[in-house]
A and B are shown apart, each in its own frame.
Chain A
Amino acid sequence: MRKVSLWFFVAGLVCALGFAVPANAQQEAKQFPVVTKTLKNGMKVLVQSDHSIPNVALYIFYRIGSRNEHPGTTGLSHFFEHMMFNGAKKYGPGELDKVMEANGGENNAYTTQNTTVYQDWFPRSALPLIFDIEADRIQYLQFDPKKIASEREVVASERRLRTDNDNGGLLDEQLWATAFIAHPYQWPVVGWMSDIEHWTMEDLKHHFEMGYSPNNATMVVVGDVTSDEIFQLCEKYIEPIPTHAPPPPVTTVEPDQLGERRLVVHKPAELPLLEIAYHVPQTNNPDFYALNILQTVLVHGESSRMYQRLVDKDQIALNVDMDAGPAFDPTLVIVNAQPKQGVDPAACEKAIYEELDKAKTGLISDLELEKAKNIRLVQFYQQMRTISGRANTIGTYEVFFGDYNRLFDAAKNYSAVTKEDVQRVARKYFGANNRTVATLIPENEEKAKQ
């Protein structure tokens, strides 16, 4: 993300998907009515009116992310996200933010392995301005060599912040690089440092042409607007933008993992870290719902199985979590734990496997299943309670499931999950041959042992 970064934080987005479960699909669809239109140039626009505050959240999802990169240009999507704020034709370098702030607006963006998402938050009085800005930068981005050189440094600083000087970020990067040997999910969204230093102007221009076509984007507008006025603004500002070819399909398929992979990072640290990753299908796979129920039972809240075991009973970890972000291609679900000081990560690993084994050999209880469904209902309302949360959720469903209506069907789909389904996915995906185990070992502890 450009300012409050998200690129590393794929996990955060799981909430946008995993937890959306209205009690009654029809009722919720009515409560949050969405009006859609596909523009002549192929961009789909989704509008949800809400007049409770005089503000608007406008999100544009581009279907381009680090999966569309290759060795040598890793991190380009994220770098490009930064460049989108650095000047176009009408709004030159530095002007976009100044103009937006002067009109009471602010913005941000985030990049993932799959998408690049631009976010504008503003009072409704700024509506035409925002469309003018978005149309300007989609069409006429500047490629000023000086600006590119300076932004490289900014991105390198962001990488140092979130990866090189953050043990969790560092270990996570190594984990993805080990779990994938063929598919582009193996490289970091922010890019390898040497690639950040070496992209060329041609790489950038090619990336812009590839990803930033209206037919490769989805716009979501939520807030103090009517769908009519948004469609009129789209007609004026967005519809005339010509289309070009979208990114070529990513055809590389990650081969099945045939045995456990392990990696260790040694560095100065106070505490060790542990991550265990399993390959799971892409978001629009039918197992999505059962996997989410399993995840909730295992790690959501202090009553969850893994919290109870590792943090409360055995007291070997400070926390334990499990996440899978939305993905177009088969991805990873990652269990991570922060072992306590002096605890061998192997002890946490063993406890995690034992809890996974229980989910494979036995059925979860009726109470656990009901709890998981209740939690999802609450989280649906939590993300739908703000205009920005709604824009992100509606857009994420539209992009990753291909239809925002899946948001309102989620209740039905979760209700259909049985205890046997949860057991089936536990058995199917959480096997030893399908896992990659990453540990960070504090150097000082090792020295002390010697």
Chain B
Amino acid sequence: MRILKNIAKILCVASLALVLAAASYAQTLKLPPHEKVVLKNGLTLLLMEKHGVPIVSFHAIVKAGSAADPADQAGLAGIAAGLLRKGTQKRTAQQFASDLDFIGGSFDAGSDVDYTTISAEFLTKDLDRGLDLFGDAVLHPSFPQAEVDKLLAQSIDGVKAAKDQADAVIFNYYEGYLYGTHPYGRPGGDELSLKKIQRDAILKFYQAYYVPSNTILAVAGEFNSAELKKKLEDAFGAWPAKAAPAVNIPATTAVKGKRLLLVDKPDATQTYFVIGNVGVTANDPDRVAIRVVNTAFGGTFASLLNTALRIDSGYTYGANSFFQNQKAAGPFAIYSFTKNETTVPAIDLALKVLDDFHKNGLTATQLDTAKKYIKGQFPPRMETSGQLAARIAVSEFYGLDDNEINLLESRIDAVTLESAKQAIEKHFPKENLVFVLIGKALEIGPAVKKYAEKQDERKISDPGFWPPPAK
């Protein structure tokens, strides 16, 4: 899931403002018309009417995510989001659930590293009731102590349950090991940090960051824009204006040298591994070229990585790579898994594919395939109102404009063998590599030492991910 989510996020580089009337291009990809309104209190509204299916999708972004968590309370942003529906000024958690389920609505809230997302969907016929629920959760959560305790206990056990499955936690270890004490190194929190979270801190986080000028609300689907605008103004216009503190995300820098973290899972019959380093920011000028070359490298079934590790060798069920583009440079990762016995040959092969990529770059055919693949698979990624609402909200957050979509095809076409080669050299790691492995240390430990001069080891049952708790 994590991988899929990351890929979805990388592909989610859309935008907003005014739709270009540039009909001179033979473009097939265009964002549907949409409108931006900034209310007096500073709330940014994005409205996109999309008819055909009687559903309305809400997607709000609050500009503070896990990177805004206090260092010793990782997971705070996620807990605050999770509690929005767990009791408001006029509904208990149970009433909220009953009202939501009765109309078949959905409501999800959680934190990403850069921001918090609150999304919901309702049938058009239930729009008023849905908007009332959505507004209630965003504007009037009451954070009852009993619900705080319940959610924290569940989240702590949730981390433990995830540790029973290596692929569910490997990126938690990876981001910790890659970023260390940088805020990107503790996405979501762990068993120890969650224990330290108190209701007061949650309330303070909410009061500081959940303010109109710090919020983007995108709504897409079947509705009448003029009517909905009025309804949104009624619902959110009285939200008091207030300045939010800036979330300070220091620049991230690539790890120098090679280092390896082995997480011991004694019952593992398969080793899960991630290899990578720090990647790029959401608005990196090379982002389209990077997307094209990564598609060829590890973004599809016939990509170089999957061809080598799965199709030709049978080492694994799957191998892929991704860049997660964030406010400060996000991670780049190669991910795969293989049985204990073939751990070293599989990692050697992944490194060889990376090395060859640097040496040989792409062939004209590979480049052309990657371009056609991205273009051919793009329309289904903008098919539903939920996808579109998320896309315009995230674009607005990262300050990307509509050309991100509307000029995507011509920008893809503009990638040449030469610019692809430059993107590989500049953005794919070569000598400096971070390895994270989850597997049976007894069997694989000695052999994987060769990959890095600096090595660390933890047991998967040890609380936390990385770094280990201070003694």
Interface residues of chain A, those whose CB is within 8 Å of chain B, are 3-5, 52-55, 94, 97-98, 101-107, 121-123, 126, 149-158, 160-161, 164-167, 267-271, 300-304, 307-308, 311-312, 315, 318, 338, 340-341, 367, 370-371, 374-379, 381-382, 384-388, 444
> Which A residues are CB-close (under 8 A) to B55?
378, 381-382, 385
Find B373's partner among A94, A106, A150 (CB 8 Å cutoff).
Answer: A106
**A386 neighbours in B (Cβ, 8 Å):** 380, 383-384
Residues of A within 8 A of B94 (CB): 302-303, 308, 312
Within 8 A of A (CB), among B162-192: 163-167
Contact A165 B314 (CB under 8 A): no
Contact between A157 and B338 (Cβ–Cβ < 8 Å)?
A: yes
| New contact pairs (12) apart from A101-B369, A166-B165, A312-B94, CB-CB < 8 Å | A3-B318, A101-B373, A102-B365, A153-B315, A154-B314, A165-B165, A302-B94, A302-B97, A315-B153, A340-B153, A379-B104, A384-B53
In the bound assembly, the distance between CA atoms of A87 and B301 in angstroms comes to 15
Q: List 16 A-B contacts (CB under 8 A).
A: A5-B317, A94-B307, A101-B372, A101-B373, A107-B301, A121-B377, A121-B380, A161-B270, A271-B157, A271-B160, A303-B102, A341-B157, A374-B103, A377-B123, A378-B123, A387-B380
- Which residues of chain B are near A121, meaning CB under 8 Å? 377, 380
| The one of B313, B317, B338, B379 that contacts A53, using a Cβ cutoff of 8 Å | B379
Q: Closest A-chain residue to B106, C-beta based?
A: A378
Q: Given A102-B368, A371-B102, A385-B53, are A315 and B314 also a contact pair (CB < 8 Å)?
A: no
Residues of B within 8 Å of A5, CB to CB, are: 317
Residue numbers in B under 8 Å from A318 (CB-CB): 154, 157-158, 161
Contacts of A303 in B (CB 8 A): 94, 97-98, 100-102
CB < 8 Å neighbour of A315 from B105, B150, B166, B339 = B150
Closest A residue to B54 by beta carbon equals A381
Say whether B157 contacts A157, CB under 8 Å. Answer: no
* Residues on B with beta carbons closer than 8 Å to the beta carbon of A311: 154
Question: Could you say which interface size class chain B belongs to?
Answer: 35 or more
Contact of A106 among B53, B102, B301, B375 (CB under 8 A): B301
- Does B19 lie at the interface of the complex (its beta carbon under 8 Å from any beta carbon of A)? no
The 9 closest A-B pairs by CB, nearest first: A104-B376, A378-B104, A153-B314, A150-B314, A302-B97, A301-B101, A303-B97, A97-B302, A53-B379
**Chain A residues with CB below 8 A from B153, complex form:** 315, 340
Q: Which of B157, B311, B461 contacts A340 (CB 8 A)?
A: B157
- Least CB distance from A20 to B in Å reads 13
Closest Cβ of chain A to B299, distance in Å, is 10
Complex formed: what's the CA distance from A386 to B386 in Å? Answer: 11
CA distance A167 to B165 in the complex (A): 8
Q: Which residue of B lies closest to A159 (CB)?
A: B317
B101 touches A300 (CB 8 A): yes
A158 to B268, CA, bound (A): 14
- Decide: A154 and B380 in contact? CB cutoff 8 A: no
- Is A374 within 8 A of B339, CB to CB? no
With an 8 A cutoff between CB atoms, is B71 at the interface?
no
> Which residues of B lie under 8 Å from residue A157 when comparing CB positions?
270, 314-317, 337-339
